[in-house]
Chains A and B, each alone.
Chain A
Amino acid sequence: RKEVEQDPGPFNVPEGATVAFNCTYSNSASQSFFWYRQDCRKEPKLLMSVYSSGNEDGRFTAQLNRASQYISLLIRDSKLSDSATYLCVVNMNYGGSQGNLIFGKGTKLSVKP
């Protein structure tokens, strides 16, 4: 059973499009949620944390539904520079755990001119 599942992608969209990524996680004890971005052959970089109330950072909006164990990321007005793989990440961070990050496989986004 996969712990974090994402849309397989790839998503090919024109500049200016709105694109949405979805993610589900299997462990209801998960405590923290993130979207990371990974460029080809580079390290993951934090894009944004995801809070229960939903949060927005410029063109990016993240939502969390704990009841459905579902996380989403919306990118508005996509730019060429948004082309990357988007990783859904959860953190257990409970009890004695140091809270290792559990990654989804990622969804590749390609924004075309």
Chain B
Amino acid sequence: QQPVQSPQAVILREGEDAVINCSSSKALYSVHWYRQKHGEAPVFLMILLKGGEQKGHEKISASFNEKKQQSSLYLTASQLSYSGTYFCGTEAGGTSYGKLTFGQGTILTVHP
């Protein structure tokens, strides 16, 4: 089953912060975050493993609450280059390790 992302879209001014959430109804082994710019391929941002680990990438960080099967992506002091569609991909692990199910995406637009 596809994870649910919220919000569907967010508009920011440069320098503002945003949070994107990803929720699954299934037990998860890991959550992967990707960003896709218009007309381009999705690009890997970070992976969160079981254990509530928090990771960071520049001013982008994320958390994973395995009990709630939720992950959140935090974008701090947003830059114009952060604009794009953000996808979470969830991995159930076990025999389907490596297989991701992607959410519908969150469109992030950053204005000057």
A binds B: no
